[in-house]
A and B are shown apart, each in its own frame.
Chain A
């Protein structure tokens, strides 16, 4: 199991050091600093073995978090734990920075004591942790309160405490998708997928039982088959359904129920959390198409022309559009002309960055640039990194639609109709690249 956990600043100085196992000595702290943080070359692996000791690390801004062990631990678990640790810290004190860590080091030690025991991860849900790790001291707790805490920490529904009350029962559903594309210069889709998340903010009283439904092809087909006899109109809805390649759920969702009936039922955590993640590859709406044209004029000049076309309903508006056109390292000067938005050559990033605030669907825009090059003796040709794009659109490129989210709370006197529900769809670019 996990033998110890260290947090370093960018210089390699230790900010937090917690050792769980006897086989980890103080020299392990130095070994990681010397061999990884101070190593001059790029990180070649997130798992490093130094003198029979294994180090797992992740980096958050310029902070290094390292787990050390001498045993055959579950590596996936270690990384999941490190991410979780970052989440927990972030929810306690915000950004993970050197200053925040120093300011909260006692709290961090307390957390580390609670969520790792002898190197075994324990309950790490911030919801329940915050009930008893407060840094304010838990004073005046009654016996009932105490046992409520412990039963929540260890219980089946460790993510939600009893007795939550809201005057207004409200929930917000965000369908956040990132659409990823790799396209060849000729416009052929090499790979494309949407990875989506359903993020929910719930402010509901009591222990509500929720059921979430979307236009998942499997369910719709199932329902369609069953309902064909009584409802003829149902078969048409099948067209709008989407094929989900795979999905994963927050631990509150009853997985065995999803496996058997494909229904998503759960008791939600309070506040904001990620209900599910999914991935689709079929029938994706690619909101933008990038058409590159790069011409080498002699050895000292490049001519670049890039056209972008928006491919969605004209009534919708895409926002925060940014096209990044890489330039060779020996670029000496760039002249850009664009029809819309603003374009700038950023020498430090070796790219022309073209920004457009808003763009409606079914439109097209274009940029052209002349790039002057310094002559070099470098034999190696410029690798021509792909042109990448960022944007935000107000729909789900996968075609996912929320059909319902039903809330049942039998003990309290509010019903599904009393809950105010909000649904929002946001599609963003993931890695959206076109080779040129």
Chain B
């Protein structure tokens, strides 16, 4: 009120008499004075007094005591005064229900007034008076107004039905207002139609199953006609309503789309976004090979870009929606990267959203530009923005392999700036880059270590500790570094504690001699002095592992980690579908379903995208879906990143989730809040959650099974540990090593090329271990000794796991068979052909070089059986460009025989279905470096030619995999 008084002083000198004077009040006996004025005979004075009352009401003063006096002023032909009194009534009627009845008479009378403006005003206001007793009196006037000759009254009455329904739903139904409202959809006036649609949509929302909005082709046609004629707001109501309709077939869908597309040129952004919503939804039903489908895709991009020239608040809404659209249909905006470049003066909320979309659109084609921009952003002022930009650089490295090197050097430049939060953020992302490209950038570790002391955020500390533990063998003073962290162990966050524990155990396994004391110390800190059950459990597991079976411990803790995925913090597919149905609304801004922030029954209904109804796909089986031919619709499987979407729904805070605090990490490093059985086991083994492996630990038996794990482990020696655990429950993979295909030995190095040494050999996978089986023959005259073997870098990092075991000298004409176990952790370099291996063998005479090709099937690991759901999602996720088809000729096995034969080589059949006498086998393969290959094998009875389609994120392997299929099936 202070301002009101101040203003009054200013006003006294002013000559203009304006409304602001009503905000002035003499404090003493104010109500009393007002009362007197309200009851004055002079009309002008009355009006002045009511204005004063409203002013007081606005600033929050209680003027309800004046109720009878104000209501007495209602009987007037002065429209302005009447409106003021109504305003007062709407505010206080609820607190004075008995007195509100006094007003009823006037309302009823006004509803009969000759002036349509007054009739409408009465019916509008009446609906806002939420007093039960009044609603009874409202029914008759409302009924009349719904059929009024004047459209202005009808459009007001239509909204009034929704108001009444909000107060007393039963009454509205009993009085038959809903039917009248439905009739209004056919009204001749577009605004009446629009308001009727709005009212019906709102009522329908609170009766999810009522079929109130009975949308059918006829009513849809009426709506589409009204769409061309009504106000911008009416168009929004109609489009939002249309979006709830599901067309019967693709043809209807297309004809609606055609009539909605002109809206994309509307000046009102909300009309545009609502039209986009309808189109995005109905597009789902159009066959992708239709010309119209691609035309529509092209039409969507320009209006979306135009939204970015709107005012910043609208830009924000648009960007949040574009974020969804880009995830659902990346093709729409893939060429529009530049428009998302951040402008220096953009508000921070716009900047952060643009950055998010830039990363999603980054590709090999535009990466150079993107990186240059990101580097620019990393020097800006806003801390959140800078952090996000640094993370974005890391994400680019992971997403676009060609750019990795540049990204790393950019990150190193940024670390040199020594700006604390930049350094920390850079370290977190570099850790991910190490994961993605092992053995490539480790040279930067020294630079990272220099910044150890400046790290004060848990995430950065944890990342640094992970790096130190992971590369302990390359860091001379790794033990000192880790020890320095150990001093304040109990003050660290759980994330750091867990990481430190794992890192020290890793260090111990790598350098057992010097670090025994350290590991003792951390184990006792974790198990005895900690209250955190996660930490204690992990500590105990390590302790037991180390004390019972150090070899197994090594297998577990130093297991090879699966690769991390490129796309992170994608929205989970079902949620994404739902949000697409809510484009333009708050749900699309929050990226949460309405049920998460709307109370009561409204919005609880989950919306879904319609299914495609194209022809020829009716045979779709629910599980393996449309894998045959067109891509299935399931979206990629995703592990939601930290700051889970639904997790924080209930404690909504001031800022929307994405802009509060530092942005979510680029990979799900969920050390802190993991659950014991799922991601917990993964992270326990020093690796991180990874989309495809996430299902391993899902079974509740896992906890019990784990205790026994070390004992079983040696059975599958070299297999990644995640797989080993999976196998406990699915022994199919490990059980039949005998069935694996081993190609016959061939001569790799003829004697004449190697001064008398002949080498022939083959590769085999036995009990999960890759072996190179060699026969060395001495065809020279002298004795050969001192054999050693070395591999050049190769595509899958194959390297000898031990020395070549030729212990006795090899005499002339003697032959020895050696089996050399191989590991897959060696340096990687892409070879051509992919499965080419260059080998150097040394003996006392010379060094000889030869190259050989190994069957890629020996890299197929035992845990390559994918979950059906995951398979389906992955198949869809892999772009169609990556699919390749081959023919296998003259194969006379039936599908079951083929399937079991392939299983012997770790090619797992996941599902089989029979369509028209043709067996379709869906199979998965996992390579030792974590690459998945999905296959569809078509076997027709009586036809010796099989067709095989392979899908893989790394399509280069397809050719090799096909060769394996052929070899396995024909032998």
- B714 contacts A by Cβ under 8 Å: no
- A120 contacts B by Cβ under 8 Å: yes
Chain A residues 268 to 327 lying within 8 A of chain B, measured CB to CB, are: 274, 276-277, 279
Q: Are A74 and B584 in contact (CB under 8 A)?
A: yes
Q: Are A16 and B339 in contact (CB under 8 A)?
A: no
Evaluate whether A70 and B117 lie within 8 angstroms (CB atoms) in the complex, with A49-B590, A113-B87 already known.
no
Provide the bound-state CA to CA distance between A11 and B1, in Å.
12
Q: Are A383 and B381 in contact (CB under 8 A)?
A: yes
Interface segment out of the listed B138-146, B172-180, B596-604, B756-764 = B596-604
Q: Are B163 and A431 in contact (CB under 8 A)?
A: no
* Chain B residues within an 8 Å CB radius of A251: 231-232, 266-268
Provide the bound-state CA to CA distance between A72 and B599, in Å.
10
Q: Are A118 and B87 in contact (CB under 8 A)?
A: no
* Chain B residues within an 8 Å CB radius of A17: 58, 60
Partner of B78, one of A22, A137, A184: A137
Question: Which of A72, A79, A117, A386 has the most chain B CB within a 10 Å cutoff?
Answer: A72
* Chain A residues within an 8 Å CB radius of B660: 44
Q: Are B266 and A248 in contact (CB under 8 A)?
A: yes
User: In chain A, what residue has the closest Cβ to B603?
Assistant: A72
User: In chain A, what residue has the closest Cβ to B1?
Assistant: A13
Q: Are B313 and A56 in contact (CB under 8 A)?
A: yes
Partner of B83, one of A76, A104, A110, A254: A110
Q: Are A156 and B267 in contact (CB under 8 A)?
A: no
Can you list, as one digit per residue, whether each of B89-131 has a CB less than 8 Å from chain A (1) or not (0)? 0010000000000000000000000111100100010011010
Partner of B379, one of A58, A99, A384: A384
CB distance from A9 to the nearest CB of B (A): 7
- A369 contacts B by Cβ under 8 Å: no
- B255 contacts A by Cβ under 8 Å: no
Q: Are A42 and B348 in contact (CB under 8 A)?
A: yes
- B826 contacts A by Cβ under 8 Å: no
Q: Are B127 and A150 in contact (CB under 8 A)?
A: no
Q: Are B341 and A191 in contact (CB under 8 A)?
A: yes
Provide the bound-state CA to CA distance between A11 and B653, in Å.
23
User: In chain B, what residue has the closest Cβ to A115?
Assistant: B233
Interface size class of A (residues with CB under 8 A): 35 or more
CB distance from A22 to the nearest CB of B (A): 6
Q: Are B124 and A117 in contact (CB under 8 A)?
A: yes
Interface size on B, residues (CB 8 A): 124
Q: Are B20 and A102 in contact (CB under 8 A)?
A: yes
- B752 contacts A by Cβ under 8 Å: no
* Chain B residues within an 8 Å CB radius of A121: 233
- A413 contacts B by Cβ under 8 Å: no
Can you list, as one digit per residue, whether each of A98-112 has a CB less than 8 Å from chain B (1) or not (0)? 110011111101100
CB distance from B757 to the nearest CB of A (A): 60
Can you list, as one digit per residue, whether each of B226-241 has a CB less than 8 Å from chain A (1) or not (0)? 0011111100110010
Q: Are B349 and A75 in contact (CB under 8 A)?
A: no
Question: Which of A52, A79, A158 has the most chain B CB within a 10 Å cutoff?
Answer: A79
- A141 contacts B by Cβ under 8 Å: yes
Partner of B191, one of A106, A123, A254: A123
Q: Are A72 and B198 in contact (CB under 8 A)?
A: no
Q: Are A149 and B314 in contact (CB under 8 A)?
A: no
* Chain A residues within an 8 Å CB radius of B314: 76, 79-80, 83
User: In chain A, what residue has the closest Cβ to B583?
Assistant: A76
* Chain A residues within an 8 Å CB radius of B446: none
Chain B residues 265 to 283 lying within 8 A of chain A, measured CB to CB, are: 265-270, 272-274
User: In chain B, what residue has the closest Cβ to A47?
Assistant: B589
Q: Are A138 and B117 in contact (CB under 8 A)?
A: yes
Partner of B584, one of A29, A75, A151, A256: A75
Q: Are B305 and A120 in contact (CB under 8 A)?
A: no
Q: Are B587 and A379 in contact (CB under 8 A)?
A: no
* Chain B residues within an 8 Å CB radius of A231: none
Evaluate whether A153 and B114 lie within 8 angstroms (CB atoms) in the complex, with A71-B602, A105-B19, A255-B263 already known.
no
Q: Are A431 and B345 in contact (CB under 8 A)?
A: yes
Chain B residues 22 to 79 lying within 8 A of chain A, measured CB to CB, are: 22-23, 51, 54-55, 58-60, 78-79
Q: Are A122 and B233 in contact (CB under 8 A)?
A: yes
CB distance from B417 to the nearest CB of A (A): 7
- B586 contacts A by Cβ under 8 Å: yes
- A258 contacts B by Cβ under 8 Å: yes
Provide the bound-state CA to CA distance between A274 and B266, in Å.
12
* Chain B residues within an 8 Å CB radius of A247: 265, 306
Partner of A246, one of B19, B306, B317: B306
Can you list, as one digit per residue, whether each of A228-241 has a CB less than 8 Å from chain B (1) or not (0)? 00000000000000
User: In chain B, what residue has the closest Cβ to A245?
Assistant: B302
* Chain A residues within an 8 Å CB radius of B265: 246-249, 255, 258-259
Provide the bound-state CA to CA distance between A19 and B343, in Å.
37
* Chain B residues within an 8 Å CB radius of A61: none
User: Which A residues are closer than 8 A to B by beta carbons?
Assistant: 1, 9, 11, 13-17, 19-23, 26, 29, 35-36, 39, 42-52, 54, 56-58, 69-77, 79-83, 98-99, 102-107, 109-110, 113, 117-118, 120-125, 132, 135, 137-138, 141, 143, 146-147, 149-151, 153-156, 158, 182, 184, 190-191, 193, 195, 245-251, 254-256, 258-259, 274, 276-277, 279, 379-381, 383-386, 388, 431, 433, 435
User: Which B residues are closer than 8 A to A by beta carbons?
Assistant: 2-3, 7, 16, 18-20, 22-23, 51, 54-55, 58-60, 78-80, 83-84, 86-87, 91, 114-117, 120, 124, 127-128, 130, 150-153, 155-156, 159-160, 162-163, 166, 189-192, 195, 198, 202, 228-233, 236-237, 240, 259, 261-263, 265-270, 272-274, 302-303, 305-306, 309, 311-314, 316-318, 338-339, 341, 343-345, 347-349, 369, 372-373, 376, 379-381, 417-419, 582, 584-590, 594, 597-599, 602-603, 652-656, 659-660
What are the nearest 3 A-B pairs in CB distance?
A: A246-B302, A150-B152, A76-B270
Q: List 18 A-B contacts (CB under 8 A).
A: A46-B312, A46-B313, A48-B654, A48-B656, A58-B313, A77-B584, A79-B270, A104-B19, A109-B84, A113-B87, A117-B156, A118-B163, A150-B120, A155-B189, A246-B303, A248-B267, A274-B267, A279-B306
